[in-house]
Structure 1
Amino acid sequence: MAETASKRILVIDDASLVRRYYRDALERAGFEVDEALNGVEALEKLLAEPADLLIVDVNMPQMDGITFLRSLRRQAPPIASIPALVISTEAGPHDRRAARTAGANFYLVKPVAQDTLVQHVSIMCGLSA
């Protein structure tokens, strides 16, 4: 998957085990992966270097995923237009709706199999899955 090497994914989740799980799958598939512990750290990283795709958790300290997405969509391009995949334990229709309203492009419920993660990330990055 040589075409994935130029795609940078920012994983935003306060759980180190979850970040590691996503990183392992995505790097094995050829993506470049960076991590942030919460929305505040993610915005700082994006201002320094935009990503091609964001993987966002909902429940995080300092700035949760919904607040982060709202803040992200208020930024100037190209940051405001970075696609966001929300992956959360929150599984209700109101949770999905809140994420989409805040600016999520797609929503998955944890746990997510590594092959499913890579498939969604590939599609959202415009690559063949």
Structure 2
Amino acid sequence: MTRKKILIAEDEMVLRFLLTETLEDEGFDIDEAEDGRIAMDSLRYGEYDLIILDYMMPEATGIEVCRWLRGEGGANADKPVILLTAKAEGKDREAAMQAGVSMFVSKPFSPVELTEIVRKLTESRPS
């Protein structure tokens, strides 16, 4: 069985490290991006089973990256996207859903909770 590959785009280094360590321990392969532009480059040239985007990142927000991804039509255009955010207002959720986000996870969250969501979203899809 091939390992599922995940892109984590998060500008907070400590949180990105925690997510990477947690998901690698669960058997996932991880690529990291520290801002929206790097995330877009990674999505343009790599192929992923799941994408985790932070809402508030330099260069491009998670919503902007997701909107670009869904419209770009590349290999990752239909892959599940988890948006991590401290902005949990209704209008933010609405904007995220309109951009094509699959799941909205509010900060702070538990790594165990996120791992369960990642498993559900990757297991329901063939590699």
TM-score, with normalisation over the residues of structure 1?
Answer: 0.90
Q: Which residue of 2 aligns with 1:38?
A: 35
Q: Which residue of 2 aligns with 1:90?
A: 87
Correspondence for 1:125 among 89, 99, 122: 122
Q: CA deviation at 1:93?
A: 1.3
The one-letter amino acid of 1:69's match is: C
How much identity, in percent, do the aligned residues show?
31
Q: CA deviation at 1:111?
A: 1.1
The one-letter amino acid of 2:100's match is: G
Q: CA deviation at 1:77?
A: 3.7
Say if 2:106 is the partner of 1:109. yes
- Contact kept, 8 Å, 2:44 with 2:74, in 1: the verdict is no
Q: Report the Cα distance in structure 1 between the residues aligned to 2:99 and 2:73, rounded to whole angstroms.
A: 16
Say if 2:96 is the partner of 1:99. yes
Q: Which residue of 2 aligns with 1:52?
A: 49
Q: Does the residue aligned with 1:78 lie in a helix, a strand or coil? A: coil
Correspondence for 1:67 among 64, 67, 91: 64
Q: Does the residue aligned with 1:11 lie in a helix, a strand or coil? A: strand
Q: Which residue of 1 aligns with 2:73?
A: 76
Q: Which 4+ stretches in 1 moved above 3 angstroms?
A: none
The one-letter amino acid of 2:81's match is: A
Q: Report the Cα distance in structure 2 between the residues aligned to 1:29 and 1:86, rounded to whole angstroms.
A: 20
Say if 2:24 is the partner of 1:27. yes
The one-letter amino acid of 1:94's match is: K
Q: Report the Cα distance in structure 2 between the residues aligned to 1:119 and 1:126, rounded to whole angstroms.
A: 10
TM-score, with normalisation over the residues of structure 2?
Answer: 0.92
How well do the aligned residues superpose, as a CA RMSD in angstroms? 1.3
- Contact kept, 8 Å, 2:36 with 2:61, in 1: the verdict is yes
Q: Does the residue aligned with 1:80 lie in a helix, a strand or coil? A: coil
CA 77–48 in structure 1, closer or farther in 2 if over 3 Å, else same: closer
Q: Report the Cα distance in structure 2 between the residues aligned to 1:122 and 1:39, rounded to whole angstroms.
A: 24
